[in-house]
Structure formats: structure tokens, C-alpha cells
Amino acid sequence: MQFKDNVVLVTGGAAGIGKATALRFAEEGAKVVICDVDETTGHDTLKLLGSQASFHKVNVTSRQDVQKWIDIVMESHGRIDVLVNNAGILRDGQLVKFKEGQLVGQMSEADFDLVIAVNLKGVFNCTQAVVPAMIKQGGGAILNATSVVGLDGNFGQTNYVATKSGVIGMTKVWARELGRYNIRVNAVAPGFTATEMVKAMPEKVLDGMKARTPLGRLGEPRDIANAYLFLASAEASFITGTVLRVDGGIVVGT
């Protein structure tokens, strides 16, 4: 119960890694507050989190939505100990696609802008809204979801990789800016992880992912949640500005 009475916020907490992270902190006694745009799944997850938890429908791309959420949390709990910036989306596509010397497709501007808005601006919005409360209370931990592709790149993911690389950069900047306030900022870079979305992929694709991972399996959402738990804990009190790969040893693209 190392997080007993701590207030832990998880964005995109309705499903996947966010859900596993929320459950893991709840197991350790935290008062978990999740947000998501998926209201139905969010309430389903809330039922698993215990009586101290709460769910809020929040669009992290909206500064007004985010600020309203944080104001409600502060009114209810009076503090925020941990923020896990987990919310993210995919809209994959090649920069340009040529066939027989002709341009036949390209990543749309709308898909580029939407992924930037959720995965990058959303992290900025939530962190900027939470930090004043953490400063006033004397510290906290901010944990950002990046990805191994943010370090290695990946075919067909210009928008997603740009956001995940950007999150790494913001993590390092904020670690420098906020360390004086006893706020630690770190990022976790998952590899291929068996979320609901990934498990729905064809068996052949899943086998390929496992074959490219030296440990020979996909990560479980709980593997990533355990990394967040460690980085938020007292055991990681001298760790800030780092990117922790939780990827089974994979190097994307090889």
C-alpha cells in the first residue's frame, strides 16, 4: 500500500495500458482518477477500481476540458501526487505512397494534426494544468507515455513518431524546469504490448512482433504499469528526466 491516500491521475485510463496502470495504483492504495473520451468503457473500468476512484470524460486536446477536470480533482481531493499522461491515438500512413511512378496516397493533414493534438498537445495541456498544484504542495511525479518508436522511428508513423519523440523532449525540459520544486518527470517507452487493440491483430502479425522481440513475447499492459509504479515511487526518488524502455529488448526496424 505504498501509495495509500495518494491522488493519482491517469489520462486515457479506460482501456489498455491506462486501465492496467490505474488498476495497479489502486492495488497500492491510491485514490485513482481516470479520464477518457470513451464514457462507457470508462465507467466499466471505474467499477474495478474501488470506491475511492472516479472517472471523468475529458478531451485532453481541449485546455478548457482539462482545466475543468483538474479544478474538480483539486476541489474533491485537495492535492495531486502523480499524473500519468497515457492518452494517445494512432492514425498511421506513409508520408507519400508511389506506385508505377505515380503518387497514389499520402498521410492526410487531418490525421497528422489529430495525432499531434492528442499525443503531444494533450500531454502539454494536462501537465501545465497539474504542475501549479504540485508546486504548492511541495512535489509530485509526472509520467509520460512515449514509445520505442519515438527513439527508433517506424515505417508509416510520421505523426505518431513525431509526438512520441516530442514527448521525450518535453520530459527532459520539464525535468530541468521542475526539479527545483521536487517534481520528478520521467517517460516510459513500451515496445509491442498486448493491449486489446494489438491482440485483435492477425496471428501472423502478432507472431512477427514476438519474433522481433528478444524475450520472445509481447509485453503485458501490467508490465508497463509496473514501470509507472516504480518511477512514481520513493524507490525512484533520484530518477528524473529519464526514458525507461519496457520493450523486451526490441530495436524497431531491425
Q: What is the pLDDT of residue 253?
A: 63
Q: Using 50, 70 and 90 to split pLDDT, how confident is the model at 250?
A: confident
Mean pLDDT of the chain: 95
Any domain includes 32: yes
Any domain includes 253: no
How much is the pTM? 0.94
Q: What is the mean pLDDT of residues 5-14?
A: 97
Any domain includes 161: yes
Any domain includes 198: yes
Any domain includes 251: no
> Domain range for residue 18?
7-246
- 82 CB-contact burial (10 Å; exposed 0-12 / middle 13-18 / buried 19+): buried
pLDDT digits (tens, 9 = 90+) for 125-180: 999 999 999 999 999 999 999 999 999 988 999 999 999 999 999 999 999 999 99
Residue 94 CB neighbour total at 10 angstroms = 14
Any domain includes 1: no
Counting the structural domains of the chain, the total is: 1
pLDDT digits (tens, 9 = 90+) for 83-116: 999 999 999 999 999 999 999 999 999 999 999 9
Cell numbers for 54:
472516479
Any domain includes 229: yes
Q: Using 50, 70 and 90 to split pLDDT, how confident is the model at 254?
A: low
Any domain includes 2: no
Q: What is the pLDDT of residue 251?
A: 75
pLDDT digits (tens, 9 = 90+) for 24-63: 999 999 999 999 999 999 999 999 999 999 999 999 999 9
Query: Catalytic residue positions?
Result: 160
Q: Supply φ then ψ for residue 90, to 5 degrees.
A: -120, 140
Q: What is the pLDDT of residue 235?
A: 97
Q: What is the pLDDT of residue 198?
A: 79
Asked whether residue 191 carries a pLDDT value surpassing 80, the answer given is yes
Interstrand relation of 54-57 and 31-36 (parallel, antiparallel or unpaired)? parallel
Asked whether residue 75 carries a pLDDT value surpassing 80, the answer given is yes
CATH number at residue 131: 3.40.50.720
Q: Look up cell 524507490; give the residue.
A: 235
- 236 CB-contact burial (10 Å; exposed 0-12 / middle 13-18 / buried 19+): middle
Cell numbers for 131:
504542475
Q: Using 50, 70 and 90 to split pLDDT, how confident is the model at 194?
A: confident
C-beta separation of 38 from 59 below 8 A: no
